[in-house]
Amino acid sequence: MIPLPKARLLTSALLVGTAVGLILGVATSVLVDAAIRPDVVVGLVVGVPSILGILTILLSGRRWATTVGAFLLAVAPGWFGVLVAIEAVNHA
């Protein structure tokens, strides 16, 4: 059974995770100049945080570990949103 934290903590972790994803997306797009295939970037940006978050949630034995898993899971949409916005603006 997955131990669920209080709803307030879980939603806070999701909100902060999305904000961190936005910041990570902007920071990496500024710092990385290498030409990388878009499918690899999307796979890394969406896949790695999602897999880490799901595994953390599924293997968590404590409520705080479930909160950390939700945080990691929420990083992916924020980061992906920045990449989509940058792609839309650059190729409009």
Assign residue 57 a region (left: φ > 0; alpha: ψ between -120 and 50; beta: otherwise). alpha
Closest CA to 49 of 71, 22, 16: 71
Q: Which residue has the tokens 């903590």?
A: 9
pLDDT for the residue 37? 87
pLDDT for the residue 92? 60
For residues 13 and 27, give the distance between their C-alpha atoms in angstroms, rounded to a whole number: 21
In the predicted model, residues of the chain with pLDDT beneath 50 are none
